[in-house]
């Protein structure tokens, strides 16, 4: 790549055609010097490589080994994750190595904001809800460190743990780094221990990251999230209300690994409780000779009936002479332990050291990161032939406790006993270097690992076993003795016991009199309760979790109080744990059985092997658990019955959120037109009414609250054929009798998107695109004024202003653009909650649906909802630039520069209110737009017809306008002297009708020329004289012609 870039650069350094021949040589000499300096910088610049480990301790140890103790440390943006720099020969050249680290998983998988809250949806919806993977807030400093350090690096090497989780963490790093450097080269370092030899082999054999292993983790994480969240919400929301006195504050979680683990404990506890002891009888013979006592066991073992045993016992007493039938002696060996894998480490640490599995793995991981042991998460119990064990044994010869034994092993040569399991990734757990500076449990666990390693590399213990068989009255008895010849591995491994058992020498055919013959009775005993080691063994046997997650699942059921641990270390199920398992068992489900989870674990392995597709596994597993969930919700009363013996009588449960197991009521109605990211969902409020709200709340507060006369509402499967874009579902309504017009049925199906004018007027629908999206806003119920949306239209060189006069950054505009005033909100033809037939003062307007926003083809220059001047044309928005009291104030002006009508209106005046006032022009739609469907999905905003308090119908005795049509009566609602005063005006829409005006409370006939002019008031303040105001600045004392703004 470097040579190609050099050639390309040389081709560029040729004299251009405009350089004359006489200056060409000088030009080339200058470029030759430039080329040599550029080439030297390109070739001599060292390769820069970013290395990322999973933990800071690992990064520190790796840097120490690779730099031979000469790395330079500096701080990262995360105080817990340092950065180490050093030089290293890698990939065939000297490189500048930058080593940093993570703190485990950097990214979190969670539902989107619309489904994160517990009451946001029915739990069943979580099986199909959208999920997102993101970097958590606490990990942002690590992410920013990676983004900063990867700049300028040509190579990225992943040094995370070499297992599934480590591979997935590595791909998280890759995702972050590729967002900054898309073309960076990526390698994976494979290692099982942090030692010089292992690190050197990893550097020499860099590989590509394993995507299949990462995909298996992605599948597991998504399934755990969906299954766990759905069942946890179902259990918690229900049981907290059914048993409030006991479970009110409890989180009742579910996990597809937790419950089978809990099931093992409950099953063993039930076996103990249901166990019925039986009395048995047996005969025991003892013989003392040479100060040695030998106990002979009855070959029949035991009998469960007393009479037969008593008869045989009497026969032996009548003829007590014992005769030696056979004697035999054979070598006996006690096998040394197998190499140590993760599960065996957890089990033995629990049994021998009394350290629980969670603490064991925590300590083991720390020892690994410090370079004292190999990787502690492995399924392998056989050392590969390629691994030289002699240096590992040699490291331990310096120890004062086991150094001599290690020297003898080294002398004979390590010969470890081999198991039959391997994950083809990591060797068994073993010490990598010697240390004597550890304390507490760290020291005890490290010592156990060292002794176990030396023991498995040693030889089996040797002994000689003697068996003697005798006969008394036809009944046979046996005795066994042991003599240890060579202890071998037992010398270093005190966790196993093998003791001598001496018996006298017996000869075949010899007879003797027993010292005693006894008939003794006993009682069968139940199986013991499970210990942690037993539980881990069952989890491994049935495929529940992995070696890396066993401890985590056990700890979870302990923290949830599903189980408790007794003083002897055995598990006892709690009342809640018992009730949950028994409840699901009553339903006939296998949620507490291992089958479902073991099938999932098998599928995850197949994903890693490439024999199954991750998407297929995901769909199949979700379907299985969803089927179980739906049935569980439908039979939830059995869960209450199972918990009743422990928590008392259940209270009545009112199902507000859980639903019946299906997704009706939570199915999205349409995409929110306000935020355009979340779904609008029909919900039932606490007071029993219905609403349609955005699931992005509180970030997006778009909502529609239906009035009380809506008795029932549900989302229908049918789609609206008019509303666009996207699918918009219709809603089925059931209205209260008497609340709707006589011609409208009580059961009605319609669209609330705005295309259904009947619903729009009846429900008084509002324009959701005008609501604030931030949490500082508020919901609007019923009718009322909405928050105005700022206008960012500018013209010429003026600064852009909002509808309230707020200055925004300048935006270039070639031609004047029409500005949109603050939206007015029309009221429905029937107020919310009012029965049909009741009168309303405000009985007519054009109300918009919640989807009224500009369509894709409308552009910014659309003329809907704009201020219209006297010419009938859209007015343009300007801003006062001259010095004076009105500087910076926005106003509307006729857009016709040459033959304009002289129209003027302050943009921040009260004309933007929801009332129309004589003397000031209210924002109107143009005549052509009024003929459109004012409530359709492609309409711009709500209709801005002036509100009235009177009837829209022509007054019976009222005058006619200039169009020879009956005039309509309206009432002034603007604050002022004329508020409440009736007047007549043309009934036609603005721009189509005439300019007729007449007060309705005067007896004088209207003049044919009674017209109002924009910007002027025609009232006289109850007959009083008022000073004339300027038509531009509305100040008294001068006219428009002499206004200072014209200077």
Q: What token pair was written down for 482?
A: 């042991």
User: 532 in helix, strand or coil?
Assistant: helix
Q: What token pair was written down for 504?
A: 């006298």
Element (H, E) at 823: none
DSSP state of 1036: B
b/e map 974-1012, b = 16+ CB within 10 Å: bebebeebbbbbbbbbbbebeebbbbbeeeeebeeebeb
Distance CA 762, CA 735 (A): 11
186: CB partners within 8 A, 6+ apart: 155, 156, 157, 158, 174, 208, 209
Distance CA 1011, CA 1032 (A): 19
Question: Is residue 725 reached through a cis peptide bond, with omega within 30 degrees of 0 on the bond before it?
Answer: yes
Q: What token pair was written down for 898?
A: 């040459």
DSSP state of 980: T
Distance CA 422, CA 386 (A): 14
Distance CA 316, CA 473 (A): 5
CB hemisphere CA count around 738 (13 angstroms): 5
User: 758 in helix, strand or coil?
Assistant: helix
Select from 962, 969, 963, 957 the least CA-distant residue to 999. Answer: 969
CB hemisphere CA count around 58 (13 angstroms): 28
- Residues 333, 460: contact at Cβ < 8 Å? yes
Q: How far is CA 431 from CA 346, 376, 445, 498, 646, in A?
A: 16, 10, 11, 26, 49
Residues annotated as part of the active site = 375
Q: Is the dihedral of CA 419, 425, 428, 432 positive or negative?
A: positive
Distance CA 478, CA 321 (A): 15
Axis crossing angle, helix 357-369 with helix 56-67, rounded to the nearest 10: 30
CB hemisphere CA count around 614 (13 angstroms): 14
Select from 838, 788, 841, 793 the least CA-distant residue to 813. Answer: 793
The string of DSSP letters for 317-364 reads HHS--EEEEEEEEEEEEEPPPPPB-HHHHHHHIIIII---HHHHHHHH
Select from 946, 940, 1022 the least CA-distant residue to 985. Answer: 946
Kindly report the number of other CB atoms within 10 A of residue 463's CB atom: 19
Axis crossing angle, helix 532-541 with helix 550-559, rounded to the nearest 10: 120
b/e map 196-234, b = 16+ CB within 10 Å: eebbeebbeebeebbebbbbbbbbbbbbbbbbbbbbbbb
Distance CA 322, CA 475 (A): 10
115: CB partners within 8 A, 6+ apart: 121, 125, 126, 129, 130, 695
- Residues 492, 283: contact at Cβ < 8 Å? no
Beta bridge partners of 670: 680
User: Checking phi first, is residue 102 left (phi over 0); if not, alpha (psi -120 to 50) or beta?
Assistant: beta
Burial label for 423, CB within 10 Å (0-12, 13-18, 19+), is: middle
């Amino acid at each position: 790549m470097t040579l190609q870039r050099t050639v390309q650069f040389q081709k560029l350094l040729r004299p251009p055609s405009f350089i004359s021949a006489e200056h060409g040589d000088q030009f080339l000499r200058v470029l030759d010097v430039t080329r040599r300096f550029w080439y030297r910088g390109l070739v001599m610049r060292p390769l820069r490589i970013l290395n990322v480990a999973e933990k800071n301790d690992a990064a520190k140890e790796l840097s120490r080994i690779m730099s031979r103790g000469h790395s330079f440390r500096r701080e990262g943006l995360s105080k817990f994750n340092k950065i180490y720099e050093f030089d290293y020969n890698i990939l065939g050249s000297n490189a500048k190595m930058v080593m940093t680290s993570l703190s485990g998983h950097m990214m979190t998988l969670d539902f989107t904001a619309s489904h994160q809250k517990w009451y946001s949806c029915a739990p069943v919806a979580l099986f199909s809800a959208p999920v997102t993977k993101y970097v958590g807030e606490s990990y942002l400093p690590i992410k920013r460190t990676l983004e900063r350090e990867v700049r300028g690096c040509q190579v990225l090497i992943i040094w995370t743990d070499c297992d599934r989780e480590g591979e997935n963490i590595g791909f998280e790093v890759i995702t972050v780094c590729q967002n900054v450097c898309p073309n960076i080269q990526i390698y994976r370092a494979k290692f099982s221990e942090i030692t010089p030899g292992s690190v050197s082999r990893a550097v020499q054999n860099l590989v590509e990251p394993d995507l299949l292993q990462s995909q298996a983790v992605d599948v597991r994480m998504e399934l755990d999230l969906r299954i766990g969240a759905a069942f946890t919400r179902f259990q918690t929301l229900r049981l907290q209300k059914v048993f409030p006195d006991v479970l009110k504050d409890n989180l009742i979680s579910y996990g597809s690994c937790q419950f089978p683990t809990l099931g093992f404990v409950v099953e063993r506890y039930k076996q103990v409780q249901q166990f019925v002891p039986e009395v048995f009888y047996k005969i025991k013979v003892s013989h003392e000779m040479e100060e040695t006592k030998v106990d002979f066991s009855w070959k029949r073992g035991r009998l469960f009936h007393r009479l037969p045993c008593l008869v045989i016992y009497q026969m032996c007493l009548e003829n007590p002479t014992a005769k030696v039938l056979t004697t035999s002696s054979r070598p006996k060996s006690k096998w040394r332990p197998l190499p140590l894998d993760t599960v065996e480490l957890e089990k033995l640490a629990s049994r021998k050291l009394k350290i629980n599995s969670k603490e064991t793995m925590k300590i083991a991981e720390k020892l690994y990161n410090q370079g004292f042991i190999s990787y502690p998460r492995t399924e392998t119990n056989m050392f590969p032939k390629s691994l030289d064990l002699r240096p590992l044994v040699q490291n331990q010869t310096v120890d004062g406790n086991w150094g001599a034994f290690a020297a003898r092993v080294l002398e004979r040569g390590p010969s470890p006993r081999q198991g039959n399991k391997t994950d083809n990734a990591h060797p068994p757990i073993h010490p990598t270097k010697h240390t004597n500076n550890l304390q507490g449990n760290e020291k005890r666990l490290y010592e156990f690992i060292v002794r176990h390693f030396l023991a498995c590399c040693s030889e089996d213990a040797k002994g000689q076993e003697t068996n003697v068989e005798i006969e008394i009255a036809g009944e046979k008895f046996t005795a066994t003795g042991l003599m240890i010849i060579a202890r071998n591995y037992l010398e270093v491994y005190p966790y196993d016991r093998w003791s001598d058992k001496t018996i006298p020498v017996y000869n075949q055919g010899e007879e003797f009199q027993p010292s005693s013959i006894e008939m003794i009775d006993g009682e069968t005993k139940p199986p013991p309760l499970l210990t942690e080691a037993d539980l881990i063994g069952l989890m491994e046997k049935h495929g529940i979790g992995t070696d890396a997650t066993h401890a985590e699942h056990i700890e979870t059921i302990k923290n949830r109080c599903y189980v408790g641990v007794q003083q002897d270390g055995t598990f006892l199920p709690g009342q809640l744990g018992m009730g949950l398992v028994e409840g699901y068992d009553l339903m006939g489900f296998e949620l507490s059985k291992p089958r479902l989870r073991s099938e999932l674990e098998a599928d995850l392995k197949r994903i890693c092997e490439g024999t199954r597709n991750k998407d297929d596994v995901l769909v199949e597993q979700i379907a299985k658990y969803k089927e179980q969930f739906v049935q569980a919700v439908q039979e939830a009363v059995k869960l209450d019955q199972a918990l009743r013996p422990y928590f008392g009588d259940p209270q009545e449960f009112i199902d507000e959120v859980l639903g019946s197991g299906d997704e009706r009521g939570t199915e999205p109605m349409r995409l929110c037109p306000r935020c355009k990211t979340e779904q609008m969902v029909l919900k039932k409020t606490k007071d029993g009414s219905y609403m349609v709200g955005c699931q992005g709340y509180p970030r997006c507060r778009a909502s529609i609250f239906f009035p009380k006369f809506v008795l029932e509402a549900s989302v229908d499967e049918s789609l609206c054929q008019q509303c666009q874009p996207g699918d918009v579902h219709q809603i089925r309504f059931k209205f209260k009798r008497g609340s709707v017009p006589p011609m409208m049925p009580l059961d009605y199906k319609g669209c609330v998107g705005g295309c259904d004018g009947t619903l729009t007027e009846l429900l008084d629908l509002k324009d959701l695109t005008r609501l604030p999206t931030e949490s500082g806003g508020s919901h609007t119920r019923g009718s009322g004024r909405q928050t105005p949306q700022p206008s960012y239209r500018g013209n010429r060189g003026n600064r852009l202003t909002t509808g309230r006069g707020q200055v925004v950054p300048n935006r270039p505009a070639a031609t004047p653009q029409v500005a949109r005033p603050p939206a007015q909100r029309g009221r429905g033809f029937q107020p919310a909650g009012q029965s049909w037939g009741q009168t309303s003062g405000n009985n007519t307007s054009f109300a918009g649906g919640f989807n009224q926003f500009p369509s894709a083809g409308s552009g910014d220059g659309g003329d809907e909802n704009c201020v219209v001047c006297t010419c009938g044309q859209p007015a343009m928005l300007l801003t006062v630039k001259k010095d004076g009291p009105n500087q910076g104030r926005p106003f509307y002006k006729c857009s016709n520069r040459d033959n304009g009508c002289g129209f003027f209106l302050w943009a921040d005046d009260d004309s933007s209110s929801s009332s129309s006032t004589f003397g000031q022009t209210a924002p109107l739609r143009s005549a052509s737009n009024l003929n459109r469907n004012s409530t359709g999905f492609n309409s711009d905003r709500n209709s801005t017809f002036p509100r009235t308090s009177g009837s829209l119908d022509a007054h019976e005795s009222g005058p006619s306008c200039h169009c020879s049509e009956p005039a309509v009566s309206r009432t002034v609602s603007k604050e002022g002297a004329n508020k409440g005063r009736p007047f007549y005006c043309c009934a036609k829409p603005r721009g189509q009708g005439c300019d007729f005006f007449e007060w309705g409370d005067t007896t004088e006939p209207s003049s044919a020329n009674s017209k109002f002019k924009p910007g002027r008031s025609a009232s006289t303040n109850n007959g009083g004289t008022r000073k004339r105001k300027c038509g531009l600045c509305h100040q008294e004392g001068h006219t428009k012609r002499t206004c200072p703004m014209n200077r």
